[in-house]
Structure 1
Amino acid sequence: MLDTQPEIVPGKKLSAKVAGLYVASSDDFQTRAVERLELGFDGIPGDFHGGQTRRSGGREPWYPRGTEIRNERQVSIVAFDELAVVAERMGLAEIKPEWIGANLVIDGLPNLSMLPSATLLFFAGGVTLKIDAQNNPCRLAGRSIARNARMEDQDAGSLLFPKVAKRLRGLVAWVEKPGVIEAGEEISVRVPDQWIYRS
């Protein structure tokens, strides 16, 4: 018998804008700026994180490392304001989206990294992305930041990033409806109902 129901926070619609687009080569997670992104059901063609499946890693300790699983990490999304907070915490002037393998910078959404799973991003040009989860900060991205920012102690920098960037590292998403995203494009954001599950 259900004695109590969790409080349900109704969903909402928000608006945002594309502030930057980036793509990686197939052999390096660092990205470079582009004016448009072509997306298919495999993600971004040729991108380091492209593909319908991927190999499991440290984020999935319940599988043997290297197990083929669904790729819900096709697109990495960040916000400039959150990167600025992380940069300040690391004692840096800036952290560029390219350094941490971002594909998309979104402007106009406060607390971007806190958008819940299943949030839908409808781009004016027709693309739809579905948010999977927060992108947990890792040492690999920290090492890239430390190297690109020319930090004096790069080992310390690679360790510092995961500590100070928690819940500020952005989101990962997958392509629900393919197409092309252009720089400056408007985005309609549909946040689903939210609740805290307690057994």
Structure 2
Amino acid sequence: MIQRQDTTLDLFPEAEKPAEIIPAGKLAAKVAALYVAPSDHFQTRPVEALQLGFDGISGDFHAGATRRSGGREPWYPRGTEMRNERQLSIVAADELAIVAGRMELAEIKPEWIGANLLIEGVPHLSMLPSGTLLFFKGGVTIKVDAQNGPCRLAGRSVAENADMADHETGALAFPKAAKRLRGLVAWVEKPGSITVGEEISVRVPEQWIYRP
């Protein structure tokens, strides 16, 4: 259960409060599995440890301080160099099981969709807000950027690895089935090494809905 720390200041009279403010809190979690991708393909393979630098995982498909914009950033011309806030992909087994059920599959493995961390102990992992900090017992800190929006590329990988009869149908089905269940993207705030089984302190920031 999440532990809330109510540090909210009463800055506004009740009638003038611009948003509902939810206090910060903490969760305990654990690294269930780790994965790395070759530099030329987004699918990952299991490893026992990850060495993280400020560029992410050395040699990984998504490593780098910057990246090129794509369909997720329609406000830039495709290929524009921008900060890489997608260094790491984080998923949860319970959410992948829901997606697999919706697609009538026996399973969806994290490596099929390019995951780097499989985390257990966090309910509704994909709903953790931007700015959430993951403090690993060994000293690494990762900061959550946002939900990882499911795409057809990952869907095609699922279809191929699950031996679906129609790969295109699988590619189209995955984005719908995995909406808000595909995990998170994050970046390295404090580098170091992460190992399988390592404990994590999850710090959920104060949240609010902005209504100007």
State TM-score, norm by structure 1. 0.98
Would you say 1:144 and 2:157 are equivalent positions?
yes
1:58 is matched with: 71
Match of 2:86 among 53, 73, 76: 73
2:27 is matched with: 14
* Separation in structure 2 between the aligned mates of residue 169 and residue 141 of structure 1, nearest angstrom: 10
* Separation in structure 2 between the aligned mates of residue 7 and residue 69 of structure 1, nearest angstrom: 32
Tell me by how many angstroms 1:4 deviates.
Answer: 2.7
Match of 2:142 among 103, 123, 129: 129
2:52 is matched with: 39
Would you say 1:171 and 2:184 are equivalent positions?
yes
Match of 1:111 among 107, 119, 124: 124
Would you say 1:96 and 2:109 are equivalent positions?
yes
Unmatched 5+ stretches in structure 2? 1-11
Tell me by how many angstroms 1:7 deviates.
Answer: 1.4
* Separation in structure 2 between the aligned mates of residue 117 and residue 171 of structure 1, nearest angstrom: 9
Q: Decide which structure has the larger Cα Rg and report it.
A: 2
2:166 is matched with: 153
1:83 is matched with: 96
What is the aligned length? 198
Runs of 4+ in 1 over 3 A off after TM superposition: none
CA contact (8 A) 2:97 2:107 kept: yes
- Match of 1:83, SS state, is helix
Q: Which amino acid aligns with 1:113?
A: S
Q: Which amino acid aligns with 1:189?
A: V
Would you say 1:192 and 2:209 are equivalent positions?
no
CA contact (8 A) 2:18 2:211 kept: no
- Match of 2:146, SS state, is strand
Greater shift in the superposed pair: 4-13 or 60-69: 4-13
- Match of 2:31, SS state, is strand
Match of 1:30 among 43, 51, 61: 43
Tell me by how many angstroms 1:64 deviates.
Answer: 0.1
